[in-house]
Amino acid sequence: MTTKLVVGLDGHKSGDRAVDHATMLASLIGDCELIIVYVVEWSPYSFQTAEENEQRHKRREQEISMAMERVVDPAVAKLKAAGVNARGLVRHGDVASIIMAIAEEEGAAQIIVSRSSEGGFVNRIFGSATSNLVMHASVPVTVVS
């Protein structure tokens, strides 16, 4: 049975640390698949006209395509070139909720993310995607610093 690890990328260099750690774990596990995930933050709580919603949908599709091309595909290609079983996903929504949902859908054994200092003071007070994952995920979460 293949062990699945979900690796959350944030589009910054800190995501490379999460991928590196997941790669090391995959080498120890053996039969392992890394699921590289990038979430485009998006709030469903925006009230717009029908025309604005149509434009928003187009932007959403463009954002997903861009994130796949610029963030996820290069990470997956690098992993595959190194002989690691990997695939990528890009979704829109709340980062922590989406990563937890993917982990559950995929039957992942663990979620791996990096700690980024880019959130500043506001995230330290009100929380971040990483802290929400640690507090609410149904599988272990490894936070790489």
Q: Where are the domains of the chain?
A: 3-144
For 93-115, how does the pLDDT look when each residue is reduced to its tens digit (9 = 90+)? Answer: 899 999 999 999 999 999 999 87
Count Cβ atoms within 10 A of the Cβ of residue 31 and give its class: 0-12 exposed, 13-18 middle, 19 or more buried: exposed
CATH number of this structure's domain 3-144, picked from the four choices 3.90.1010.10, 3.40.50.620, 3.30.565.10, 2.70.98.60 = 3.40.50.620
Count Cβ atoms within 10 A of the Cβ of residue 70 and give its class: 0-12 exposed, 13-18 middle, 19 or more buried: exposed
> What is d(CA 98, CA 55) in angstroms, rounded to the nearest whole number?
23
For 41-75, how does the pLDDT look when each residue is reduced to its tens digit (9 = 90+)? Answer: 876 656 667 777 677 778 888 999 999 999 999 99
> What is d(CA 33, CA 38) in angstroms, rounded to the nearest whole number?
16
Classified as helix, coil or strand, 143 is: strand
